[in-house]
Amino acid sequence: MEFTENLSENRKSAEERASVLANPGFGDFFTDHTAVIDWTADAQGHNGQWHDARIEPYGPISMDPAASVLHYGQEIFEGLKAYRHEDGSVWTFRPHANAARLNKSAARLALPQLDEEAFVESLRKLVAADIDWVPTGDGEALYLRPFMIATEAFLGVRAAREVSYRVIASPAGNYFGGELKPVAIWVSQQYARAGRGGTGSAKCGGNYAASLVAQLEAEEHGCKQVLFLDPFNDNAVEELGGMNVFFVTKDNKLVTPALTGTILEGVTRSSVIQLAKDRGLEVEERKITLDEWRDGVASGDIAEVFACGTAAVITPIGVLKNGEELIGDENAKAGEVTMSIREELLGIQRGTVEDRHGWLERLV
């Protein structure tokens, strides 16, 4: 797909950029440009065309107040990162996996399919325009946020016939801020994240909106994230508000909840599974309940727990707070297996560890 370019005449100054890059945090600062592709359905609303692929200055989106996304939440998104290598080149990690997942989410939310190559090209063009924003620090990257929204002004409840795909970029350090250290997680007892047949495995804004009340509860209890359980399935562990969960057993097995349709098929999750298998670790994707977590920590059968996702990379979990009950240790150190897989993954992404699986794709 051909992109036209309208580069910003109002870029942030080198000083402003340097001050952001000195301490990027997560999600607070945005680069100078955005990638956009629009889609319009045919008269019957069934088929449509992507058109007007472009790079334009970053700025507010002008939208009709009746746009369906504002009323019915017809929206999906992705998250991936661009990594600076030592020679200055910029790479991304498994972009086709994100493109495929975007299309799966699109199918569930009645949004149009986007060609995988157009997806990758949108990242390439945006990162080329904003290359100076790709951080160089340890564990830092340019977070890329592709998303698709229903822009048609129409209040009847049906799939929109006008859609916009966009990508924005934001320099990112540690998702949880500051130095990497084990985080505390709050168990949501009142709210579930998803149900059978729902949108749990799609990456749509609604899933995250529904997690926020529980996330507020977590923060009130000094926790960084919320853990969702399936209350109709023995309190099976599902996922955190924005990341998947892994357990390392004392006999070096990796256990993670199976993909049942209610949890997100994380790209980091599947990469961790592959890296663990490469090291000869046994990996079990299965049901794991809150009781098993509690008993495993008490008996020592569960040696480490960690969260993973593009934003979180791999973050050790110290303690799980279930009301008054504490499972784990608030002052726990990061586990060895956790940190070693994290280092390997970051090394592949930064080009310092061999990319055995061909996961990297050069952007610039």
Facing residues of 240 across strands? 227
Secondary-structure breakdown of the chain: helix, strand, coil percentages, each rounded to the nearest 5: 25, 30, 40
Smallest gap, in angstroms, from Cβ of residue 63 to ligand COI? 22
Q: x/- binding map, residues 189-208, to ligand COI, per CB under 6 A?
A: -------------------x
Amino acid at 127: V
Amino acid at 285: E
Single residue of 79, 173, 182, 257 touching ligand COI by CB under 6 A: 79
From 46-54, 158-166, 309-317, 328-336, give the range in contact with ligand COI by CB under 6 A. Answer: 309-317
Q: Is 20 in the site for ligand COI (CB under 6 A)?
A: no
From 134-142, 185-193, 280-288, 303-311, give the range in contact with ligand COI by CB under 6 A. Answer: 303-311
Round to whole Å and give the CA distance between 284 and 288. Answer: 10
From 110-118, 192-200, 244-252, 306-314, give the range in contact with ligand COI by CB under 6 A. Answer: 306-314
Pick between residue 243 and residue 288 the one whose CB is nearest to ligand COI. Answer: 243
Smallest gap, in angstroms, from Cβ of residue 269 to ligand COI? 10
* C-alpha radius of gyration, the chain, whole number: 21
Q: Alpha carbon of 321 to those of 148, 219, 222, 230, 290: distances in Å?
A: 35, 11, 9, 17, 11
- Window 231 to 270, contacts with ligand COI (CB under 6 A): 242
Smallest gap, in angstroms, from Cβ of residue 185 to ligand COI? 15
Q: Is 135 in the site for ligand COI (CB under 6 A)?
A: no
Q: Is 310 in the site for ligand COI (CB under 6 A)?
A: yes
Q: Is 211 in the site for ligand COI (CB under 6 A)?
A: no
Q: Alpha carbon of 154 to those of 23, 161, 198: distances in Å?
A: 42, 9, 24
Residue nearest to ligand COI (CB): 79
Pick between residue 242 and residue 257 the one whose CB is nearest to ligand COI. Answer: 242
**Quick one: CA torsion of 68, 142, 263, 148, rounded to 10 degrees?**
20
Pick between residue 154 and residue 208 the one whose CB is nearest to ligand COI. Answer: 208
Q: Is 320 in the site for ligand COI (CB under 6 A)?
A: no
Task: Count the neighbouring beta carbons within 10 Å of the beta carbon of residue 299.
Answer: 9
The footprint of ligand COI on this chain (CB under 6 A) covers a number of residues equal to: 6
Smallest gap, in angstroms, from Cβ of residue 242 to ligand COI? 3
Spatial CB neighbours of 284, under 8 Å, sequence gap ≥ 6: 253, 254, 255, 256
From 100-108, 247-255, 305-313, 328-336, give the range in contact with ligand COI by CB under 6 A. Answer: 305-313
In b/e form, how buried is each residue of 252-279, taking b as 16+ CB within 10 angstroms?
Answer: eebbbbebbebbbbbbbbebbbebbeee
3-class secondary-structure state, position 264: coil
From 54-62, 254-262, 308-316, 327-335, give the range in contact with ligand COI by CB under 6 A. Answer: 308-316
Round to whole Å and give the CA distance between 152 and 134. Answer: 34
Q: Is 309 in the site for ligand COI (CB under 6 A)?
A: yes
Q: Which residues are at the interface with ligand COI (CB under 6 A)?
A: 79, 208, 242, 309-311
